[in-house]
Structure 1
Amino acid sequence: MKLIFGILILKSILAISYGHKILGLFPTVAKSHHIVGTALMEKLAERGHEITMVSPFKADSKLSTLKNFRDVVIEETYNQSRPMIESIFEMVTTKNIFEIFHGFSDIGIKISNLTMQEPMIQKLLKSNEKFDLIICEMTMNEVLLGFGHRFNAPIIAVSTFGPSLWTTDLVGTPSPLSYVPHPFLKLSDKMNLIERIMNILAATYERIYYDNFYYPRQVNLYNEHFPNPKPSLQSLRENVSLVLVNSHFSLTAPRPLVPNMIEVGGFHLNRTENPIPNNIKTFLDTAKHGAILFTLGSEIKTTELPPEKLSAILNVFRSLKQKVLFKWENWNLPNKPDNVLISNWFPQKEILSHSNLKLLITQGGLLSIMEAINAGVPFIGIPLYGDQYMNMKFAEKSGIGISLSYDMLDEKELRTAVAYILEDQDYEHNIKELKSRYEDQPIKPIDNAIYWIEYVIKHKGAIHMRSAGQHLNYIQYHNIDALGILFGIAFIIFYLIWALIMKCLCSGRSKRQKFQETNQPNHKIKYSKKKKNN
């Protein structure tokens, strides 16, 4: 027994002795993104690595007590960007898809600039610290790739949702528009002709806007905050070692991925659950008819709902025999039904795991859907922006949820959807079946993420995994230049053939005309002589 204990102690000491210094950059001002980053950094710390994590949120008590974990909180980024984040609800409910895309791009630029101006970030950049690896959440913040050059360390990008333009470009992952829908559109992977045209137009617009309006602003930030001499930002983008995406083919539509884009969807789900607060636990324990959780995510405030929609929602709650947990960012809710418990924050993952929770009403964010699938709880989605439309399209196709339009949301629509989910056992059956498929993996997602992170460190950036597509621009990647030349040559050849045919036709026509002109007078002469003789 003592021998085994000694071996375990030695193993833990060796793990710390051979641990690496890792810098994690998670600047997005969204609590859900922080949860994902925290799960990854905590696991790396448990493996013995020395972790520095940059985030607008403080680490929880469990993580902050680890001796090999340093928490760098960028408070000013959080404070100054909150007004923009809190305006998201108004933006997504009053603007069109193009204006929403512009709005999110502006938010990305703002947060990127605030992050780089943080005193703690400037202190870190000017320090003599060394890091073996940089892990960066990549959500409209390409300027942070400069940390890789500053500390001469390989970079791993993390996406808290599925593949997008921000991450696929980094490693050359193909996105065939015939069956890979744009995440901002209400499309599935099975598209008809009109939908494919819409998909092409949206992707083309995004590419033009990204390359010509958004990305140059990130380049300006990079040039401002990282001194010369330095490589171009484009060069740093082309040298990202790996991308970890929070998706899995069983949870979304299958799509092609290059070897250094790894699916680790739901890796935050394996984190040890915290106890549910006593008041919430008592509320759930006494819900003899079951309970419903209503939350629109960490960025959207239900206090901003229009009065008519809030009234419709509360009327539905009031008519239910189930208890309802309603995320409400205020201490008071006028006309609150007796079966409703309000709070400005609910531990969603833990609540979904409670046996009495029967239904989730969500905005359709990928993290919420993953947590619902993990708990085997069907859901109603009210998508508002981004990939939420695509997520809910997949949910309806899989028979695990119902999607409601925010614009059309009223008491009747919500009441009908709630009744369908609670009364039709197929939804619960389908989501449990999907959960079974998701869990049927050779390795847990978090362990898979850790393996590839350590693989990149071990192989000094894992250059051998990188596709040549990483070093091609959009025109080269899609052979637009080569196809242009080939079509140009084909056009010239067909033009020459056409010109030759037309020349031959014209020449033949000219000869016939000359022949006719030459022979016509002789006929007249013969006719005249014949007439005289008569």
Structure 2
Amino acid sequence: MKWVLLLSLIYYLSDVEGLKVLVCYPLPMKSISILGQAAVRHLIEAGHDVTYITVYPLNIKAKNLRQIDISSNTALLANDETMTMGYFLHNKLERNHPYQLQKIALEAARMTLNHENVKKLLEDPNERFDVIIADLIESEVYAGFSVLYNCPMVWLYSMGAHWQVLRLIDVASNPAYDPDYLSPNMPPFTFAQRVEELWSRIYWQYLKTFYTQPEERKIYEAVFGPLVAKRGRTLPDYEDVIFNASLILANEHDATLNRASTPQNFKYIGGCHIEEPVKPLPKDLQDLIDNSKNGVIYFSMGSVLQSKSLPKELVTELLQMFGEFKQTVIWKFEDNSLVNVPKNVRIVNWAPQQSILAHPNVRMFISHGGQLSSLETIHFGKPIIGVPVFFDQYTNIYKAVQNGYALKVPFSQNLPKDLKPAINLMLTDDRYANKAKELSALYHDRLTAPGAVFLHWVEYVVRTRGAHHLRSPARHVPLYQRLYLDLIALILTIVSVLIYILSKICKKKHVKRNDQKKRN
């Protein structure tokens, strides 16, 4: 019996041997990096060795974590006025230009792969990894890591099942019912919206094919070509590489409507960034929320869109409006210089958002509608008033409104006037809170926590050497075969030949009749 126990122990210890994982999060956007940080946290807690390429290094000391600092990437957006609250306030855009986002992702890739710290890592011939995990936003050039280290590629996507990512492992979903992540349209579409969605796909693919992807190919060949050659191998074609991912892990959940159908190697891990149990609130905030008899309204526009960049007049009007409510208002505002703050308003430079939303006294969340914030509202069952500004925020808020737990307020100079009736409605109408709780119950009704799901699939891909059995056969079928263009061509050819033969026969009969008439 002792020998059986000993052998069993040896087996289980060998089965959980730590993996060497490379995680790459190159975009200088704090909100997106939160998902990368969550991936790193789950991996190191599971005992895996993690090398983390990041713009925002973690304040964590762990033997199995090595961080590659690329914080200089922040220069990419540091002086970009098109990413400020003021720009969006004066330029009402419900859909970002796709080339702008493709260009940002392209330049981030160029800066990352040419960064001295990353080059030092790549040029070390002794480095090896079991799996690559990279952020997937508008650029697939990081698939080159999987070529260099000859290991599976896993994409970690900060949104849901959108056609731009599905095309990498399957076929793109139908634009007649599936909008892209930049679209304000929600199905069912009108005729005009269907045309708009179709055109947006054609235009995105045109930009990608003729402008962005050729530049990505150059970066891929310039960076990884010499490195692969030094290891005695030939660099595969770029298109073969970007369509060779083992898995896409998406930051979405099943408790929402109108999700596109997905292939087997597309998995939802929405909410894996939420720590359970949540961290305790600081004592001052804990006491404040505990003693708020009429409840709490929490207001935050996220990490990229900072409230301090709002016009002063608008800030003053918002404070006056919030001061008219009985509820306590916690406003994440990144400046301590505010004056004439009402007694019921608490200004915080930094807010422990998850801990705030977890408190039962919080009545609602006024938010920009980022994907992480949207997931947290579902996780904690809080209704939301959405003030979308850019990127996927319109899609998230429209979806939340359609699901029945949100109200949308336009981001404009009239924000205080538009926000007040929305707050009053949500305070007096229990439908929104009840729907949020209903969806939260759906969200939590799953076999295991999202963090465990994330770990399972990463380890599964390595165990199965790429999980080839999960891959869709659609990737191996050419477009002309998927659309039956060859069959259509064959039918048209047969019909054309028949028409030609019939026309010849008819022509001969016509000539024969004319000859008979002449003879008569």
TM-score by length of structure 2 reads 0.88
Q: CA deviation at 1:335?
A: 4.5
* Aligned counterparts of 1:118 and 1:133: Cα–Cα separation in 2: 21
Q: Which moved more, 1:255-264 or 1:231-240?
A: 231-240
Residue 304 (str. 1) matches residue 302 (str. 2): no
Q: CA deviation at 1:326?
A: 1.7
Q: CA deviation at 1:510?
A: 6.8
* Aligned counterparts of 1:65 and 1:176: Cα–Cα separation in 2: 46
Aligned residue number for residue 439 of structure 1: 444
Q: How does 1:87-126 map to 2 (within 5 A)?
A: 87-89=83-85, 92=88, 94=91, 100-126=97-123
Residue 343 (str. 1) matches residue 340 (str. 2): no
Aligned residue number for residue 151 of structure 1: 149
Aligned residue number for residue 209 of structure 1: 207
Q: Which moved more, 1:95-104 or 1:419-428?
A: 95-104
Distance 1:517 1:124, change over 3 A: same
Aligned residue number for residue 26 of structure 2: 27
Tell me if structure 1 keeps the 8 A contact 2:144–2:220: yes
Number of residue pairs aligned between Structure 1 and Structure 2: 506
Distance 1:164 1:211, change over 3 A: farther
The code of the aligned residue for 1:20 comes to L
* Aligned counterparts of 1:454 and 1:17: Cα–Cα separation in 2: 9
The code of the aligned residue for 1:59 comes to L
* Aligned counterparts of 1:158 and 1:428: Cα–Cα separation in 2: 31
Q: How does 1:502-513 map to 2 (within 5 A)?
A: none
From the CA coordinates, give the structure whose radius of gyration is larger.
1
Distance 1:408 1:256, change over 3 A: farther
In structure 2, which of residues 220, 223, 231 is the aligned counterpart of residue 222 of structure 1?
220
Residue 48 (str. 1) matches residue 44 (str. 2): no
Unaligned runs of 5+ in 1: 520-534
Aligned residue number for residue 39 of structure 1: 38
3-state DSSP of counterpart to 1:443 = coil
Q: CA deviation at 1:274?
A: 2.8
In structure 2, which of residues 321, 324, 327 is the aligned counterpart of residue 316 of structure 1?
321
CA deviations over 1:250-292 (Å, ceiling 9, x no partner): 2342321111111111112244433323343333233222111
Aligned residue number for residue 68 of structure 1: 64
Residue 78 (str. 1) matches residue 63 (str. 2): no
* Aligned counterparts of 2:63 and 2:14: Cα–Cα separation in 1: 14
Identity, in percent, stands at 27
Tell me if structure 2 keeps the 8 A contact 1:15–1:48: no
Tell me if structure 1 keeps the 8 A contact 2:28–2:76: no
The code of the aligned residue for 1:281 comes to Q
Instruction: Compare the two structures and name the one with the higher helix fraction.
Output: 1
CA deviations over 1:198-219 (Å, ceiling 9, x no partner): 2212222212222222222211
3-state DSSP of counterpart to 2:167 = helix
Q: Which moved more, 1:306-315 or 1:176-185?
A: 306-315
Aligned residue number for residue 232 of structure 2: none
* Aligned counterparts of 2:292 and 2:283: Cα–Cα separation in 1: 14
3-state DSSP of counterpart to 2:377 = helix
Q: Which moved more, 1:404-413 or 1:420-429?
A: 404-413
CA deviations over 1:311-331 (Å, ceiling 9, x no partner): 443332122121222222322
* Aligned counterparts of 2:10 and 2:320: Cα–Cα separation in 1: 59
Unaligned runs of 5+ in 2: 230-234
Q: CA deviation at 1:156?
A: 0.9
* Aligned counterparts of 2:289 and 2:383: Cα–Cα separation in 1: 17
Aligned residue number for residue 58 of structure 1: 57
* Aligned counterparts of 1:280 and 1:78: Cα–Cα separation in 2: 31
Distance 1:165 1:175, change over 3 A: closer
* Aligned counterparts of 1:287 and 1:355: Cα–Cα separation in 2: 11
* Aligned counterparts of 2:349 and 2:256: Cα–Cα separation in 1: 29
* Aligned counterparts of 1:340 and 1:272: Cα–Cα separation in 2: 27
The code of the aligned residue for 2:442 comes to R
3-state DSSP of counterpart to 2:168 = helix
* Aligned counterparts of 2:241 and 2:99: Cα–Cα separation in 1: 24
Tell me if structure 2 keeps the 8 A contact 1:469–1:477: no
Q: CA RMSD in A?
A: 3.1
The code of the aligned residue for 1:222 comes to Y
* Aligned counterparts of 1:220 and 1:195: Cα–Cα separation in 2: 36
Tell me if structure 2 keeps the 8 A contact 1:270–1:446: no
Q: CA deviation at 1:437?
A: 0.9
* Aligned counterparts of 1:291 and 1:187: Cα–Cα separation in 2: 32
